[in-house]
Amino acid sequence: MKSCSALCSVFLVLVVVWTTGACSSGSFGSSQSVSLRQTLAHSLLRNPRVGLANFHVSGRRDNATAFYNMQQAERGARSMRSSYLRAPGGSVYLDNQMLWGMHYLTRAGWSYRVTELAGGSHRE
């Protein structure tokens, strides 16, 4: 009986940590987060309700378009940021909560087009 209550406690803690996103950037959850990020990115890349731009409205060319960012996330890599005009460059992991939100929009029946995720540059 004691092992059952201990197992239930561990399960409850894991559910709370997962649902609050508490381990999305920590070392404990990094491999789990990468797996979740890759799974969501894979699903969004193949979802006909999601249009991911493979160009910047500015006309600049780089590997930081919404489409390339999602491909990078699918591979488990950081997504590139543009480095022209006011864009700072570098790379970031796409946020799991944002990816979940994008996923849930399609589950609710919405279709949409994404022009930028981590890339692009916006004037003042």
Tell me, yes or no, if the pTM score tops 0.75. no
Predicted local distance difference test score (pLDDT) of residue 27: 36
Predicted local distance difference test score (pLDDT) of residue 85: 86
Query: Is the residue at 119 inside a domain?
Result: no
Query: Is the residue at 32 inside a domain?
Result: yes
Percentage above 70 pLDDT, the chain: 72
Query: Is the residue at 3 inside a domain?
Result: no
pLDDT-based confidence at residue 26 (cuts at 50, 70, 90): very low
d(CA 55, CA 86) in angstroms, rounded, equals: 17
Cβ–Cβ under 8 Å, residues 55 and 82: no
Predicted local distance difference test score (pLDDT) of residue 31: 54
| Encoded tokens for 4 | 């059952």
Query: Is the residue at 10 inside a domain?
Result: no
Count of structural domains, the chain: 1
Better-predicted residue by pLDDT, 95 or 6: 95
Query: Is the residue at 31 inside a domain?
Result: yes
Query: Is the residue at 77 inside a domain?
Result: yes
Task: List the domain range (segments joined by +) for residue 42.
Answer: 27-114
